Chain A
Amino acid sequence: MAFDPSRFTLSAFPGTLIGKPVQICTTQAHQSKTVVINQDWANPIYGGNPNVQININQGTTNPLDKIIGCYIDNSRCNDDIVLYFPDTTYSIPVPGLTTRFAPVFTQTGICNLYKPLGNLQFPDGSHKQTQVILCNFLTDSFGLDSTIPRTVDLWQRSEGVDGTPDLIIPTVGDTNVSFILTLQVAHGGQIVVAPAAAGQQFIITNLQIAIYRAFNTASASSGNIGLASNFKDVPVRVSTNLDYYPYTILFSQSDEYIIIDGTIGIQVFNNFVMDAGNAHFLFDYSLIAAQ
């Protein structure tokens, strides 16, 4: 079935598009050109609506005369995206963390780029990005296999990780931990959840943070609670402003992964003082060795 775009609204792509002459398939009668669209899914200019419409005939310097092919690099986004051509309803789905070439069926210079599912950022706050290169020459249809091992670039890693990127294969966690933690720590306090030896890292594939049966008797009732990395950083943090939590899921994530360098801890801070209460953390994690 064709992709159904009716449930999405669109924003105009805000960037400046430039047609770049290239040599591939250029002949004496035809100048090959490309237009590069770098889509930042978490760009605040979109106002919470990241799906964009791209018109190569508006605001474009040296625009393409036609769109016949494209190259889509979705390797910096782990969610599936769709490039959709409204005049023919032709859609090109691209899985997360893959790239592909595709021919294009359209008569216009208009296409829409959608990311139907998933967050707009990685857990460390870096933005997910997708690149679309539209071409006025024919490209083959070819997708790079998503199962090839991937590097984890620094931008995908928690801020507490130092050093050069390591080669790892993201795995489904082989250890599941569900536990109850009683928080009786003051501002800035940390509790060790899972200790690690030197040089060891955890990769967390599923994470849920919930608090229940907690109440706050301190005058300040707002603050943050987060997952701490080796007592250095808090790559995952959620804000709370309630005085009483019957059972509140503060954070839930299952489609991404987080790498913690060293000991996993939980930290409360920013005037979030809990005199008594319980936090419920769910983890799927694997212990990996830094390379």
Chain B
Amino acid sequence: MATSFSVQHRIFYGLAPAIDEGPREIIKSYTFAAAGTQADSLTKEILAKELSFIQGMYFNNKAGGGIMTLFSRQYEMSIEIANKTQGFMPLFWGNDPEFEVTAAAAGTIQFNFINVPVAPYIWTVS
């Protein structure tokens, strides 16, 4: 269970637009005091018309204390994110994304969920 999490909405520019809306993102941050799992959803944000769907993400686990896992139960895609890494990942999600964030240890991870597809890429932050 995350001790706190935050959410922001932003419109950004520079990437290819999606079908009928500009590139947008939803930023979520999860802080864990110990190992645990936090269930969450983007349904509320999507219903608020901030964006229509999720196709990818940027993640930042550079402040994390351990490995984080992002798991979509409906679409069965699991992505394990090593400590002290950032990167981009495509997400095979539908339009009702519910997911779980699991931390192996205390730490904070940030996800920028975006409505444009991205190529997978990960780099390590020292």
Q: Which residues of A contact B (CB under 8 A)?
A: 20-28, 32, 34, 36, 38, 71, 73, 75, 99, 101, 131, 133, 135, 139-140, 142, 144-145, 148-151, 164-165, 167
Contacts and interface: CB of A to CB of B under 8 A. Distances in A.
Interface string B94-126: 110000000011000000000001011110000
Contact of B120 (A22, A131, A133, A142): A142
B80 A24 contact: no
A7 to B, nearest CB: 31
Contacts of B95: 23
A135 B92 contact: yes
B26 interface: no
Nearest to A38: B76
Interface string B41-61: 000000000000111100000
B63 interface: no
A167 B117 contact: no
B67 A24 contact: no
Contacts of B5: none
A23 B119 contact: no
Interface residues of B, number: 32
B91 to A, nearest CB: 6
Given A24-B55, A24-B92, A148-B82, A164 B77 contact: no
What's the dominant secondary structure at chain B's contact region?
loop
Interface in B66-98: 66-67, 74-80, 82-83, 85, 90-95
Given A149-B67, A165-B35, A20 B121 contact: no
A28 B92 contact: no
B53 A23 contact: yes
Contact of A28 (B19, B55, B90, B93): B19
Nearest to A153: B104
Contacts of B55: 23-25
Interface of B: 19, 34-35, 53-56, 66-67, 74-80, 82-83, 85, 90-95, 104-105, 117, 119-122
Contacts of A135: 92
Nearest to B65: A167
B78 A73 contact: yes
Contacts of A26: 19, 53
Given A22-B75, A149-B82, A164-B35, 11 more contacts: A24-B56, A24-B92, A24-B93, A25-B55, A71-B77, A71-B92, A99-B79, A142-B120, A142-B121, A144-B80, A144-B122
B72 to A, nearest CB: 10
13 contacts: A20-B75, A22-B75, A23-B55, A23-B95, A24-B90, A24-B91, A26-B19, A32-B92, A34-B92, A75-B80, A140-B119, A144-B122, A167-B66
Nearest to B91: A24
A151 B67 contact: yes
B117 to A, nearest CB: 5
A24 B90 CA distance: 8
B77, B85, B93, B95: which has the most chain A beta carbons within 10 Å?
A: B77
A23 B66 contact: no
Given A23-B53, A73-B78, A167 B94 contact: no
Contacts of B79: 99
B67 A167 contact: yes
Nearest to B54: A23
